[in-house]
Amino acid sequence: MSFANSGIFASPPENSVTYYLPNTLCNWPWERIITPNYASVQAEAMAWLESLYPFTPKELITFNKVALSCGSCFKILEAYTDNLLFWRRASVKAPMACQERFVNTWGAYLGSVVLQADRRSSSYICTIDEYWASRRDNIAADPTFAMLEMTLELDLPHSVMDHPAIVSLNRDTNDMITLANDMCSYKREVLCGDTDYNVITVVMANEKIDLAGALQWVSDLHDELALRFLDTREDVLNHRNGVPSWGKDIDLQVAAYIDGLGEIGSEGMMSGASSPEGVPVFISGWQNL
């Protein structure tokens, strides 16, 4: 099964440099939706962030225009705020195991940001293995997964979350988000002259292929990850291939967590645009550089 429409290309426009951006989730079972609580939660979150005075008045106007996201909040917290203040709000109802997962993954994220900055400053192009080793942390997906647990008010012990099947689901979701993020941001990074830490550049350099070949490589890998995610999900939900039942209550929580991962994965390929209903949309097709 193919999740991307990358193999069905119309003729490119007659332009200088073009490439085709596939919609890697055209057959993904989770739709892109917005929670009905979005407006009220956004207002409260924005009010809290503004109370920290992280921006000048001019910067605040710009930030408000681009809408609030978990990722943008991470960047602000990383740069401006006292982490204890953030954590006091975020951990109110979080079980200890979830708190530990967030702290550990947040620490890994911060460390990876330093490494990324060092590599960017030296124009260093990673090997593919080096790329994954650091990019999985600095995409900030793992702290987001811990916040998913908090949002759903789950109480999942380490013994469950450390099971190979759950680890695989987390890793595949993380990698799909990473690939999608790099594909969507490639044009902007080209225009900024800052593509050295993008998977497309890494693949072109290491596999000795052109831009079209690298995009196909990334799209094919995304398909593999999506298929494995769905297969592993079935293993967990049906307790097969070595995945046990952890009891009715934990099994229901695990199912809710996996569904949340699927929804997070559906947001990986976003253009930043929205439908009239406010639902994020991804616009695939030919892109001009």
Domains of the chain: 93-288 (1.10.600.10)
Cα 54 to Cα 26, 43, 88: the distances in Å are 38, 16, 18
3-class secondary structure, 273:
strand
Q: What value does the mean pLDDT of the chain take?
A: 81
The residue ranking higher by pLDDT, 16 or 288, is 288
- pLDDT category, 273, cuts 50, 70, 90? very low
Residues with Cβ within 8 Å of residue 106, at least 6 apart in sequence: 83, 143
Q: Is the pLDDT of residue 8 over 50?
A: no
- pLDDT category, 119, cuts 50, 70, 90? confident
28-32, 85-89, 145-149, 278-282: least confidently modelled range: 278-282
- Give the amino acid at 205: A
% of the chain exceeding 70 in pLDDT: 74
Helix axes 199-207 and 164-192, enclosed angle (nearest 10) = 90
Q: Is the pLDDT of residue 274 over 60?
A: no
pLDDT of residue 282: 58
Task: Let me know: does 113 contact 158? Beta carbons within 8 Å.
Answer: no
- pLDDT category, 16, cuts 50, 70, 90? low
pLDDT of residue 61: 61
Give the C-alpha separation, 245 to 247, whole Å.
6
Give the C-alpha separation, 169 to 225, whole Å.
9
pLDDT of residue 85: 63
Give the C-alpha separation, 255 to 260, whole Å.
9
Give the C-alpha separation, 233 to 168, whole Å.
10
Q: Is the pLDDT of residue 76 over 90?
A: no
pLDDT of residue 23: 79
pLDDT of residue 191: 87
pLDDT of residue 213: 94
Say how many C-beta atoms besides its own lie within 10 A of residue 96's C-beta. Answer: 11
Cα 141 to Cα 17, 71, 89, 241, 247: the distances in Å are 32, 9, 20, 27, 28
- pLDDT category, 66, cuts 50, 70, 90? low
- pLDDT category, 216, cuts 50, 70, 90? very high
- Compute the CA torsion angle 42, 117, 106, 127 (nearest 10 deg): 120
pLDDT of residue 84: 54
Cα 81 to Cα 38, 90, 145, 158: the distances in Å are 23, 14, 21, 29
The residue ranking higher by pLDDT, 63 or 183, is 183
Give the C-alpha separation, 201 to 210, whole Å.
9
Task: Let me know: does 169 contact 131? Beta carbons within 8 Å.
Answer: no
Q: What is the mean pLDDT of residues 13-31?
A: 75
Q: Is the pLDDT of residue 138 over 70?
A: yes
- pLDDT category, 98, cuts 50, 70, 90? very high
DSSP-assigned states of every residue in 75-111: HHHHHTS-HHHHHHHHTSS--HHHHHHHHHHHHHHHH
53-62, 112-121, 262-271: least confidently modelled range: 53-62
